[in-house]
A = this chain, B = another copy of it.
Amino acid sequence: MGVSLSASQALRLWQQVNLAEVHDDAPDLSERQMAILLTIYLDPPPHTVRGLAAKLGVTKPVITRALDTMGSHKLVSRHRDEADRRNVLVKRTVDGALYVERLGDVIIAKAAELPL
């Protein structure tokens, strides 16, 4: 169970992927935005503002603002929960799925290049 990494490999991987992301034209996401985006795409729905805030250990406005920004980039979308109209359900988008998929490819590629 698990993937074994040396300290050198772990940090080099982090550097290489971050360098690749910075080099790209893709929108630079903050750590918080990245955590939100990946949680939406990896964890089972539904995803609410409150739930995301709890999972990240941050306040609700942080989530609202991050969704504003990522929504303007079409990475996520918001919909009222018709069952309980207080809730906002955060959902995936085509662009967001492409972004996440591409990120995964970069991580895999950089991991494959790591020296032993």
Contact = CB atoms under 8 A, between A and B. Distances in A.
A12 interface: yes
A107 B35 contact: no
A22 interface: yes
Interface stretch (A52-60, A74-82, A83-91): A52-60
A50 B34 CA distance: 28
B18 A38 contact: yes
A13 interface: yes
A94 interface: no
Interface residues of A, number: 48
A28 B29 CA distance: 12
A3 B100 contact: no
Nearest to A24: B57
Interface in A1-31: 1-7, 9-15, 17-19, 21-23, 28-31
Given A15-B42, A19-B56, 17 more contacts: A1-B114, A3-B3, A3-B5, A4-B111, A5-B107, A5-B108, A7-B101, A7-B105, A11-B41, A11-B100, A15-B35, A18-B35, A19-B35, A22-B35, A22-B57, A22-B58, A28-B32
